[in-house]
Chain A
Amino acid sequence: MRKIIGAAALVSLMLSPLLTAQASTPAEDREAFREYFKKNMPSDDLADYKNGIYAFNKDARAQWEEIEEFPPYEIQLDEGEELWDKKFANGKSFESCLGKLDTIRAKYPHFDEKNDTIVTLEGSINKCLTENGEKPLKWKKGKMASLSGYIARAANGQKIKVEVKGDKALAWYNKGKNFFYAKRGQLNLSCADCHVYNASKWIRGDNLGPALGHPTHFPVFRSKWGELGTLHRRYGGCNKQVRAKPFKAQSDEYKALEYFQAVMSDGLEINGPGARK
């Protein structure tokens, strides 16, 4: 008997380093995430995941390529250009705050050490406006989406690059990670339930989009919306679909989620605005 207890103690002692192992790092999470898609999805061409379900639905891809010949978001890109070119009342412009047009999109989202927050492109657009005495734009669509789309288009081909440095940044990352994997709403679904574990599968007449590549193509033109919408607008719609109360665009919850998603899609090409069903 004593021998058995002794052996059990020994085994548990050997196991304890495993049980008390440190939580995985963002880099490790990202690697595991990419591996999961590579192994479990119909396509192992990870770079193509910037195209969402078009990575594995040929019919939808053909339709989308036709749509892209005369992009339905073109008018909004023109509006974005006008907004970009227009001087503020004080003579300054978006370029004064955000820098050169083609250098902007890839900087977001990022962690702001001083204010302990996540800075998004849309957040910086409105900060620029208010700091220059202009009225801020509504967050989810319209002019905000047009300008965000124009800025994204100028960065097409550049890659998402997000680094999580320091404990505070890590806390934001973990907040987003928890949000992503937590069950939510009356239907009790996590983001991962649909967009990782069942990505590419059919939910009635629709394919579930892969979470890998989610942030590359926003703002997005959705046929359902008939216009461009921001990533946070889509988050709100997703939360409603699982019958959860959506958070506000640019809330800490959605900013953290955007940050986490960007880390997961680090290295993928920026190709916004996209067009989706």
Chain B
Amino acid sequence: MRENFRIVSTALSALALIGAIGFSATVSADDMEEGKKLAFNKKKGNCLACHLIPGGDQPGNIAPPLIGMKARFPDKAKLRTQIEEPRTANPNSMMPPFKAHGVLSEKEIDKVVDFIYSL
């Protein structure tokens, strides 16, 4: 029984891995470019107001530079939570609650997360 379980779980992990690779591969260059635009746009993500981002002019220095994101967020879902709802990690966060306050739509958040994760 236990042996079967191990086989199933290994198989599931492998599937998940393939899925993840498949997923990241589906981020098109266009979507990535769109994500960058949203992140840089003053009326949308405006990430540059506070964060240094490679390729962005006149970044703010209120919050940490957005570099080495995969190392800082091995779990991409955590990065998404941080962007969607920064109050999860810190109730007094200065970072706007992008989802709850409707600053960005769900789809826009998808693209911004993909872009930021690529940094």
- By a beta-carbon cutoff of 8 Å, the part of chain A in contact with chain B is 186-189, 193-194, 197-198, 201-205, 208
Contacts and interface: CB of A to CB of B under 8 A. Distances in A.
B66 interface: no
B107 to A, nearest CB: 18
B59 interface: yes
B60 A201 contact: yes
Interface in B77-97: 94, 96-97
Contacts of A208: 62
Contacts of A187: 96, 101, 103
Given A186-B102, A186-B103, A187-B103, A204 B97 contact: no
Interface of B: 48-50, 58-62, 94, 96-97, 101-103
Contacts of A188: 96-97, 101
Interface of B is mostly: loop
A186 B98 CA distance: 9
Nearest to B48: A204
Nearest to B94: A193
Contacts of B60: 201-204
Contacts of B50: 203
B58 A198 contact: no
A204 B58 contact: yes
Q: Would you list the 6 A-B pairs with minimal beta carbon distance, nearest first?
A: A205-B58, A187-B96, A203-B60, A193-B94, A202-B60, A202-B61
Q: Which of B94, B97, B101, B103 has the most CB of A within 10 A?
A: B94
A193 B101 CA distance: 18
Contacts of A186: 96, 101-103
Nearest to B43: A243
A128 to B, nearest CB: 42
Contacts of B96: 186-189
Given A204-B58, A204-B60, 11 more contacts: A186-B101, A186-B102, A189-B94, A189-B96, A193-B94, A194-B94, A197-B94, A201-B61, A202-B61, A203-B49, A203-B62
A198 B49 contact: no
Contact of B59 (A193, A194, A197, A204): A204
A204 B49 contact: yes
Contacts of B59: 202, 204
Contacts of B48: 204
Contacts of A203: 49-50, 60, 62
